[in-house]
Each structure stands twice: as C-alpha cells, then as structure tokens.
C-alpha cells in the first residue's frame, strides 16, 4: 500500500492545482474573448497575453514556471494556427492532436509493458523501476495508465466531431468540461488504483 505522503507526490506529478490553472486558463480566456469580440486573432492575442502574465507572476513569486511556460508556448501555437486559417475552432486543434498522440503513446507503453504511469510515479514513491520485476505491481501501473488512455480517447470522441461541425462554443465548452474535471478525476482514480494495488515485493524495495 502507498503511504499517505505518496498521494501528494502522485497528484503533484500531474501538475498540482497551480499547474492545472496555468495550463488551462488560456482556453477559457479564448472562449470568453471570442464570444465577446467574435475575432479570432484578437481572442488569441488576449489568451496569449493572459498566459504570459501568469508566467511573469510565477517568476516574480519565484514559483515554478513549467506549466505557465508550457501554456504560453501552447497558446502561441494555437494562436498561430487559428490566425493562419482564420477559423476559431482551429485554436483547439493542437489540443486534439495532443490527446491523440498521448492516447497512442500511453497505449503503446502498456502493450510493451513499460506503462507511462509507472515511469512517472515509480521514482516518486521510491520504487524507481524495480516495479518492472514484480508482475503484480507492474499490472497496477498498467491499469492506472489505461485510465489516462480513456481520458485522452474520450476527449477525442467528444471534441473531434464538434471540431468538424465548426461549433466553437460547444467545442470550447466541451474542452473546459473535459479539462479540469476529467483530469482531476483521472488523477484521483490513479491514486486509488495505486493505493489499492499490491505493494512492491519487499526484496525488490531499494535499500536505504
């Protein structure tokens, strides 16, 4: 069983509260701005500006800028694509690509018995890669990784048809609903699966 302190490590591995805010706020800002301005370029610029401000604030407070910076880069790419095409729905296109890539990568990692969640969480909880020598423990990480495959696949199943329909408001709303809530749910289920699963065999645990 994982110790209570492992819960925070696991949740922190997925960005924590600040990481979720920093990486998710640009999509919300773009949706709100587009509903007001009806202009793709202006809405994208507003979203990019907000993301940049968040990054600067993190720097001033000497906090991690990893997620804020990734937000700036992500918004810049989204803004470039939507501005180039002139279609507001294209602002969300990179997110669809990302979910497709993640779904394939996580699935492949399970099929080759190197689950991504094990690679991320194992070192955080002090197991390193020893879990690969314990079939029961490895299966726990495989099960946890399938949770994330389900997350990415469900986003694609819902959002891609909305993208094709060019319904920006519905797409943006689905992006928000399937962003924070599903991400938090997947992280919580990951914790539950790892907590409830068998511990790493004693003889495989790293010696202090």
pTM: 0.82
Which of 204, 202, 146, 187 lies closest to 6, judged by CA?
A: 187
Q: Which residue has the higher pLDDT, 76 or 110?
A: 110
Confidence of residue 7 (pLDDT cuts 50, 70, 90): low
- Helix ranges (H only) for the chain are 4-13, 16-37, 40-60, 66-85, 93-111, 116-124, 135-165, 168-177, 180-196
CA 108 – CA 28 distance, rounded (Å): 31
Domain that holds residue 102: 4-204
Q: What is the pLDDT of residues 116-142, one digit of tens each?
A: 999 999 888 888 899 999 999 999 999
Q: What is the pLDDT of residues 161-208, one digit of tens each?
A: 999 999 988 998 898 888 878 888 898 899 899 989 888 887 777 765
Q: Count of domains in the chain? A: 1
Q: What is the pLDDT of residue 2?
A: 46
Task: Name, in order, each residue with C-beta under 8 angstroms of 132's C-beta and a sequence gap of 6 or more.
Answer: 113, 114, 118, 138
Phi-psi region of 153 (alpha: psi -120 to 50; beta: other; left: phi over 0): alpha
Place of tokens 């790293």: 206
């Amino acid at each position: 069983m994982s110790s209570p302190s492992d819960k925070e490590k696991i949740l922190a591995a997925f960005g924590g509260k600040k990481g979720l805010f920093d990486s998710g706020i640009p999509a919300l800002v773009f949706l709100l701005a587009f509903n007001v301005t009806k202009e793709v370029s202006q809405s994208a610029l507003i979203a990019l500006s907000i993301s940049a401000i968040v990054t600067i604030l993190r720097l001033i407070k000497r906090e991690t800028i990893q997620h804020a910076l990734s937000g700036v880069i992500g918004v810049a790419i989204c803004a470039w694509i939507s501005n180039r095409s002139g279609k507001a729905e294209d602002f969300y296109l990179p997110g669809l690509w990302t979910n497709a890539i993640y779904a394939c990568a996580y699935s492949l990692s399970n099929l080759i018995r190197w689950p991504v969640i094990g690679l991320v969480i194992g070192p955080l909880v002090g197991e390193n890669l020893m879990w690969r020598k314990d079939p029961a423990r490895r299966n726990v990480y495989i099960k946890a990784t399938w949770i994330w495959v389900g997350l990415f696949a469900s986003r694609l199943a819902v959002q891609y048809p909305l993208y094709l329909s060019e319904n920006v408001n519905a797409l943006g709303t689905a992006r928000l609903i399937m962003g924070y809530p599903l991400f938090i749910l997947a992280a919580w289920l990951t914790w539950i699966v790892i907590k409830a699963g068998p511990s790493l065999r004693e003889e495989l645990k790293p010696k202090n």
